[in-house]
Amino acid sequence: AQTVTQSQPEMSVQEAETVTLSCTYDTSENNYYLFWYKQPPSRQMILVIRQEAYKQQNATENRFSVNFQKAAKSFSLKISDSQLGDTAMYFCAFMKHVHSNDYKLSFGAGTTVTVRA
Amino acid sequence: SAVISQKPSRDICQRGTSLTIQCQVDSQVTMMFWYRQQPGQSLTLIATANQGSEATYESGFVIDKFPISRPNLTFSTLTVSNMSPEDSSIYLCSVEDGQGARRQYFGPGTRLTVT
């Protein structure tokens, strides 16, 4: 079974600054997918970024980027130029590779990010 | 990405009753999923619902408690049966994007409170 660990329950960042959220996972799989989801107070789960384990290049989506360290089983999210609208709970999630019939997303406990004006 | 709606958005129910949650997608999707998010917690997969077959339940979830229907490629329902206060949660449906990219998109969720 896969486990996903987010060790930071809460993070606070000043507007326009940068914040990095940590995520580690445990798996015996070699190919898999990693995700970061954002859940603002509206509770809508929003896909922020996706990384394929067999790609060495770190994924980037505008102000959001990841640092994927496969050997260390680490998948951190960096939010640059933080905006008030980034205030949300952020979940790291794991999914097995496309050749698996298992589409289950395994989520970490989440990190609450508060952006201060 | 698919646009997903859920009904109701929230409800307050008495223990012992049942509630059926609807999930509607604006495009045909093969795979739909139901997750539960207990207060202050992360999301846990309840079951996978594919059209034309019975839902596949995760460990700890049973069909008698959470019956699921999937009558077509754009719609699914989850029923929470014989509710107790421990069932108070947000229930979310999601769909897989069908492009082989393993992206899942979520509905807005249904906040259920059982008194």
Burial tier of B37 (Cβ tally within 10 Å: 0-12, 13-18, 19+): buried
Say if B10 is an interface residue toward chain A (CB within 8 Å).
Answer: no
CA distance A45 to B42: 11
Question: Would you give per-residue pLDDT tens digits along chain B (115 residues)?
Answer: 789 999 999 999 999 999 999 999 999 988 899 999 999 899 999 999 988 788 999 999 999 999 999 999 999 999 999 999 999 999 999 998 776 677 899 999 999 999 9
Tokens standing for A113? 């990010």
CA distance B3 to A103: 20
pLDDT score of B62 = 96
Residue, of A56 and A11, whose pLDDT is higher = A11
Summarised one tens digit per residue, pLDDT across range A58-93 is: 999 999 999 999 999 999 999 999 999 999 999 999
Nearest-Cα distance to chain B for A45, in Å, is 6
Say if B111 is an interface residue toward chain A (CB within 8 Å).
Answer: yes
A52: closest chain B residue by CA = B101
At residue A24, does pLDDT exceed 70? yes
Residue, of A110 and B40, whose pLDDT is higher = A110
pLDDT score of A98 = 60
- State in Å, rounded, how far the first CA of chain A is from the last one: 41
Nearest-Cα distance to chain B for A90, in Å, is 10
Strand partners, A51: A34
Strand partners, A74: A24, A69
Q: A7: which chain B residues are within 8 Å (Cβ-Cβ)?
A: none
Whether residues A103 and B104 touch (CB distance < 8 A) is answered with yes
Nearest-Cα distance to chain A for B23, in Å, is 14
At residue A99, does pLDDT exceed 80? no
